[in-house]
Amino acid sequence: DEYRSQVKLQDAGSYTAESYQAYKTAYDALMQADPKDLSVDAFEKLKTAFEQAAYGLKRPDTPVSPNTPAAKPNPAPNPQPTTPNNGGQNSTKPVQTGDSGNLLLSAMMAASASVLAWVTGKKRKQD
């Protein structure tokens, strides 16, 4: 619920219909899932699918600079990345990306360590 409360739905008018539809489908699946019925693995799959869809959002008519060659369309795009080192076989298991650690907890620990070092330094100066 903490993660979901931070997720904000993007405006459909800012993106292509195709990329926004994939994003909206992943968003709805994430938001409509009942946390009481989800395992950690199931939540991670929903979260990963949403983040991949959010990353895949494309703006319409993105201008191309004159020095940049036009991108060639991929004739058979793979909707999900596959896992490496699987004997050359494609897998439908999405690759887990990013850090699974809690960023807020890490920041709080770093801040606490900084305050502790500062207080220790002040105490040593007083002695």
Query: pTM higher than 0.75, yes or no?
Result: no
pLDDT digits (tens, 9 = 90+) for 22-60: 999 998 988 888 878 888 888 888 889 988 988 888 988
Quote the tokens at residue 92: 């439908």
What does the chain come to in residues? Answer: 127
Question: DSSP characters for 52-94?
Answer: HHHHT---TT----TTSPPPPPPSS--SS---SSSTT---SSP
pLDDT digits (tens, 9 = 90+) for 3-20: 888 888 888 888 888 989
Report the C-alpha gap between 53 and 26 in whole angstroms: 7
